[in-house]
Amino acid sequence: MNTPTFRNWQSVQSEVLRRIHAREWKPGDFIPNETDLALEFGCARTTVNRALRALADSGLLDRRRKAGTRVAAQPVAKAILDIAVIRSEIEERGQNYSYRLMARQTTVPPVTVSAAMHTNADDPLLSIRALHMSDDAPYALEDRWINTSVVPAAKDETFQDVSANEWLLKHAPYTHGEIVFSATAASEEDSAIMDCPEHSALFTIDRLTWDQGAAVTKARILFGPGHQLRTAL
Protein backbone atom coordinates (compact mmCIF):
# COMPACT_ATOMS: atom_id res chain seq x y z
CA MET A 1 0.00 0.00 0.00
CA ASN A 2 1.41 3.41 -0.96
CA THR A 3 -0.60 5.52 1.44
CA PRO A 4 1.75 6.99 4.04
CA THR A 5 0.92 6.70 7.72
CA PHE A 6 -1.26 9.51 9.08
CA ARG A 7 -0.27 10.55 12.56
CA ASN A 8 -3.01 12.96 13.56
CA TRP A 9 -6.57 13.86 12.69
CA GLN A 10 -5.49 16.98 10.78
CA SER A 11 -3.41 14.96 8.34
CA VAL A 12 -6.30 12.50 7.87
CA GLN A 13 -8.59 15.48 7.26
CA SER A 14 -6.19 16.90 4.65
CA GLU A 15 -6.10 13.59 2.80
CA VAL A 16 -9.90 13.23 2.86
CA LEU A 17 -10.24 16.84 1.64
CA ARG A 18 -7.78 16.14 -1.15
CA ARG A 19 -9.82 13.13 -2.30
CA ILE A 20 -13.03 15.17 -2.26
CA HIS A 21 -11.51 18.07 -4.18
CA ALA A 22 -9.85 15.69 -6.62
CA ARG A 23 -13.25 13.99 -7.13
CA GLU A 24 -11.74 10.60 -6.26
CA TRP A 25 -14.73 10.69 -3.92
CA LYS A 26 -17.51 12.50 -5.80
CA PRO A 27 -20.45 14.51 -4.42
CA GLY A 28 -23.08 12.00 -3.28
CA ASP A 29 -20.65 9.03 -3.12
CA PHE A 30 -20.43 6.86 -0.02
CA ILE A 31 -16.90 6.85 1.39
CA PRO A 32 -15.29 3.79 3.07
CA ASN A 33 -16.22 3.17 6.70
CA GLU A 34 -14.05 4.35 9.57
CA THR A 35 -12.54 0.95 10.28
CA ASP A 36 -11.38 0.51 6.69
CA LEU A 37 -10.04 4.06 6.54
CA ALA A 38 -8.15 3.56 9.82
CA LEU A 39 -6.58 0.44 8.34
CA GLU A 40 -5.67 2.24 5.12
CA PHE A 41 -4.29 5.30 6.93
CA GLY A 42 -2.47 3.28 9.59
CA CYS A 43 -4.07 5.20 12.45
CA ALA A 44 -6.65 4.73 15.19
CA ARG A 45 -10.33 4.64 14.29
CA THR A 46 -10.90 7.54 16.72
CA THR A 47 -8.46 9.64 14.67
CA VAL A 48 -10.48 8.98 11.52
CA ASN A 49 -13.67 9.71 13.43
CA ARG A 50 -12.33 13.07 14.62
CA ALA A 51 -11.36 14.07 11.06
CA LEU A 52 -14.71 13.02 9.55
CA ARG A 53 -16.67 14.83 12.26
CA ALA A 54 -14.78 18.05 11.51
CA LEU A 55 -15.55 17.70 7.80
CA ALA A 56 -19.21 16.95 8.55
CA ASP A 57 -19.36 20.08 10.74
CA SER A 58 -18.09 22.14 7.86
CA GLY A 59 -20.71 20.72 5.49
CA LEU A 60 -18.46 18.64 3.27
CA LEU A 61 -19.65 15.23 4.46
CA ASP A 62 -23.12 13.90 5.25
CA ARG A 63 -23.01 11.42 8.13
CA ARG A 64 -25.99 9.18 8.84
CA ARG A 65 -25.78 6.79 11.78
CA LYS A 66 -26.88 3.66 9.95
CA ALA A 67 -26.47 4.54 6.28
CA GLY A 68 -22.83 5.63 6.44
CA THR A 69 -20.94 8.70 5.31
CA ARG A 70 -21.28 10.37 1.94
CA VAL A 71 -19.63 13.31 0.28
CA ALA A 72 -22.22 16.12 0.50
CA ALA A 73 -24.17 16.49 -2.73
CA GLN A 74 -23.87 20.28 -2.58
CA PRO A 75 -20.64 20.92 -0.73
CA VAL A 76 -20.30 24.43 0.61
CA ALA A 77 -16.91 26.08 0.14
CA LYS A 78 -15.65 27.81 3.25
CA ALA A 79 -13.66 30.98 2.80
CA ILE A 80 -11.86 32.18 5.90
CA LEU A 81 -11.28 35.90 5.92
CA ASP A 82 -8.84 37.71 8.16
CA ILE A 83 -10.33 41.00 9.29
CA ALA A 84 -7.38 43.02 10.59
CA VAL A 85 -7.25 46.48 12.06
CA ILE A 86 -7.02 48.92 9.12
CA ARG A 87 -3.61 50.19 10.30
CA SER A 88 -2.15 46.65 10.19
CA GLU A 89 -3.77 45.94 6.83
CA ILE A 90 -1.98 48.96 5.33
CA GLU A 91 1.32 48.46 7.14
CA GLU A 92 1.46 44.80 6.10
CA ARG A 93 1.55 45.99 2.48
CA GLY A 94 4.59 48.07 3.35
CA GLN A 95 2.63 51.30 3.00
CA ASN A 96 2.52 54.25 5.33
CA TYR A 97 -0.58 54.54 7.49
CA SER A 98 -2.11 57.83 8.54
CA TYR A 99 -5.42 58.79 10.01
CA ARG A 100 -7.64 61.87 10.11
CA LEU A 101 -10.56 62.43 12.46
CA MET A 102 -13.28 64.26 10.53
CA ALA A 103 -16.09 64.45 13.08
CA ARG A 104 -16.76 63.42 16.65
CA GLN A 105 -20.07 64.24 18.30
CA THR A 106 -22.57 62.84 20.76
CA THR A 107 -25.95 62.85 19.12
CA VAL A 108 -29.21 60.98 18.72
CA PRO A 109 -28.67 58.50 15.86
CA PRO A 110 -31.04 57.79 12.95
CA VAL A 111 -33.69 55.23 13.90
CA THR A 112 -32.11 52.62 11.65
CA VAL A 113 -29.06 52.78 13.92
CA SER A 114 -30.91 52.74 17.27
CA ALA A 115 -33.11 49.91 15.98
CA ALA A 116 -30.11 47.82 14.90
CA MET A 117 -28.31 48.51 18.19
CA HIS A 118 -31.45 47.98 20.31
CA THR A 119 -30.95 51.34 22.05
CA ASN A 120 -33.77 53.76 22.91
CA ALA A 121 -34.65 55.96 19.95
CA ASP A 122 -33.82 59.15 21.90
CA ASP A 123 -30.60 57.94 23.58
CA PRO A 124 -27.58 59.84 22.26
CA LEU A 125 -24.63 57.80 21.00
CA LEU A 126 -21.08 58.80 20.16
CA SER A 127 -20.66 59.29 16.43
CA ILE A 128 -17.22 59.17 14.80
CA ARG A 129 -16.25 59.80 11.20
CA ALA A 130 -12.66 59.23 10.24
CA LEU A 131 -10.52 58.71 7.18
CA HIS A 132 -7.79 56.07 7.03
CA MET A 133 -5.03 56.82 4.54
CA SER A 134 -2.41 54.69 2.84
CA ASP A 135 0.65 56.62 1.62
CA ASP A 136 -1.43 59.78 2.11
CA ALA A 137 -4.18 58.62 -0.27
CA PRO A 138 -7.72 57.92 1.02
CA TYR A 139 -8.04 54.21 1.80
CA ALA A 140 -11.14 53.72 3.94
CA LEU A 141 -13.85 55.94 5.37
CA GLU A 142 -15.12 54.85 8.79
CA ASP A 143 -18.55 55.88 10.09
CA ARG A 144 -19.15 54.56 13.56
CA TRP A 145 -21.61 54.72 16.44
CA ILE A 146 -20.37 53.84 19.93
CA ASN A 147 -22.71 52.98 22.76
CA THR A 148 -21.10 54.98 25.60
CA SER A 149 -23.34 53.38 28.22
CA VAL A 150 -21.47 50.15 27.43
CA VAL A 151 -18.06 51.77 26.76
CA PRO A 152 -18.01 54.82 29.10
CA ALA A 153 -14.24 55.34 28.62
CA ALA A 154 -14.94 56.40 25.01
CA LYS A 155 -16.45 59.66 26.36
CA ASP A 156 -12.97 60.79 27.46
CA GLU A 157 -11.15 59.75 24.31
CA THR A 158 -10.71 62.40 21.61
CA PHE A 159 -9.91 59.90 18.82
CA GLN A 160 -7.53 62.54 17.42
CA ASP A 161 -4.47 60.32 17.54
CA VAL A 162 -5.88 56.81 17.60
CA SER A 163 -8.76 55.58 15.45
CA ALA A 164 -11.88 54.12 17.05
CA ASN A 165 -11.15 51.04 14.92
CA GLU A 166 -7.96 50.52 16.93
CA TRP A 167 -8.95 52.00 20.30
CA LEU A 168 -12.04 49.80 20.68
CA LEU A 169 -9.99 46.68 20.07
CA LYS A 170 -8.14 47.37 23.32
CA HIS A 171 -10.90 48.93 25.38
CA ALA A 172 -14.24 47.43 24.37
CA PRO A 173 -15.02 43.82 25.20
CA TYR A 174 -17.46 41.98 22.98
CA THR A 175 -18.99 38.55 23.08
CA HIS A 176 -20.28 38.21 19.54
CA GLY A 177 -21.03 40.16 16.41
CA GLU A 178 -22.02 40.21 12.80
CA ILE A 179 -20.18 41.28 9.69
CA VAL A 180 -21.78 42.09 6.35
CA PHE A 181 -20.02 42.61 3.02
CA SER A 182 -21.69 44.57 0.23
CA ALA A 183 -21.13 47.22 -2.46
CA THR A 184 -22.18 50.86 -2.09
CA ALA A 185 -22.34 53.66 -4.66
CA ALA A 186 -20.31 56.65 -3.40
CA SER A 187 -22.49 59.60 -2.40
CA GLU A 188 -21.43 63.14 -3.34
CA GLU A 189 -19.92 63.63 0.13
CA ASP A 190 -18.20 60.20 0.21
CA SER A 191 -16.68 60.80 -3.21
CA ALA A 192 -15.34 64.23 -2.17
CA ILE A 193 -13.66 62.69 0.90
CA MET A 194 -12.44 59.58 -0.89
CA ASP A 195 -11.29 61.59 -3.90
CA CYS A 196 -13.13 59.38 -6.40
CA PRO A 197 -15.93 59.94 -8.93
CA GLU A 198 -19.46 60.16 -7.53
CA HIS A 199 -21.31 56.79 -7.75
CA SER A 200 -18.03 54.85 -7.71
CA ALA A 201 -18.65 51.28 -6.53
CA LEU A 202 -17.16 50.99 -3.04
CA PHE A 203 -16.55 47.71 -1.24
CA THR A 204 -18.30 47.99 2.11
CA ILE A 205 -18.01 46.28 5.48
CA ASP A 206 -20.72 46.72 8.10
CA ARG A 207 -19.89 45.43 11.53
CA LEU A 208 -22.02 45.29 14.66
CA THR A 209 -20.65 43.88 17.92
CA TRP A 210 -22.38 42.94 21.16
CA ASP A 211 -21.30 42.47 24.74
CA GLN A 212 -23.84 39.97 26.04
CA GLY A 213 -27.20 41.67 25.26
CA ALA A 214 -25.93 45.20 24.66
CA ALA A 215 -24.64 46.62 21.38
CA VAL A 216 -21.08 47.95 21.71
CA THR A 217 -20.52 49.61 18.36
CA LYS A 218 -21.83 49.70 14.82
CA ALA A 219 -19.45 50.62 12.06
CA ARG A 220 -19.63 51.05 8.33
CA ILE A 221 -16.35 51.12 6.47
CA LEU A 222 -16.25 52.18 2.83
CA PHE A 223 -13.10 51.23 0.94
CA GLY A 224 -11.79 53.12 -2.08
CA PRO A 225 -12.58 52.01 -5.67
CA GLY A 226 -10.76 48.82 -6.68
CA HIS A 227 -10.37 47.54 -3.11
CA GLN A 228 -10.25 43.75 -2.90
CA LEU A 229 -10.59 41.31 -0.06
CA ARG A 230 -8.92 38.05 -1.05
CA THR A 231 -8.43 34.64 0.47
CA ALA A 232 -7.40 31.12 -0.44
CA LEU A 233 -10.01 28.42 -0.99
- Residue 81 found at the interface with its own copies (CB under 8 A): yes
User: Which residues have a Cβ under 8 Å from the Cβ of 67 and sit 6 or more positions away?
Assistant: none
- Residue 98 found at the interface with its own copies (CB under 8 A): no
Backbone angles phi, psi at 121, to 5 degrees: -60, -30
Query: Total binding residues for its own copies by CB under 8 A?
Result: 56
State how far the alpha carbon of 117 is from the alpha carbons of 165, 204, 214, in Å.
18, 19, 8
Question: In the set 169, 189, 192, 195, which binds its own copies (CB under 8 A)?
Answer: 169
Three-state secondary structure along 150-210? Answer: CCHHHHHCCCCCCCHHHHHHHHCCCCEEEEEEEEEECCHHHHHHHCCCCCCEEEEEEEEEE
- Residue 67 found at the interface with its own copies (CB under 8 A): no
Contact positions with its own copies (CB under 8 A) in 117-156: none
- Residue 1 found at the interface with its own copies (CB under 8 A): no
Shorter beta-carbon distance to its own copies: residue 120 or 197: 197
| 127 bridge partner residues | 105, 145
Contact 204, 220 (CB under 8 A): yes
- Residue 59 found at the interface with its own copies (CB under 8 A): yes
- Residue 18 found at the interface with its own copies (CB under 8 A): yes
Using only C-alpha atoms, the chain has a radius of gyration, in whole angstroms, of 24
- Residue 230 found at the interface with its own copies (CB under 8 A): yes
Question: In the set 70, 75, 148, 187, which binds its own copies (CB under 8 A)?
Answer: 75
- Residue 181 found at the interface with its own copies (CB under 8 A): yes
Q: Which residues bind its own copies (CB under 8 A)?
A: 18, 21-24, 26-27, 59, 74-85, 88, 169-185, 199-204, 207, 209, 211, 225-233
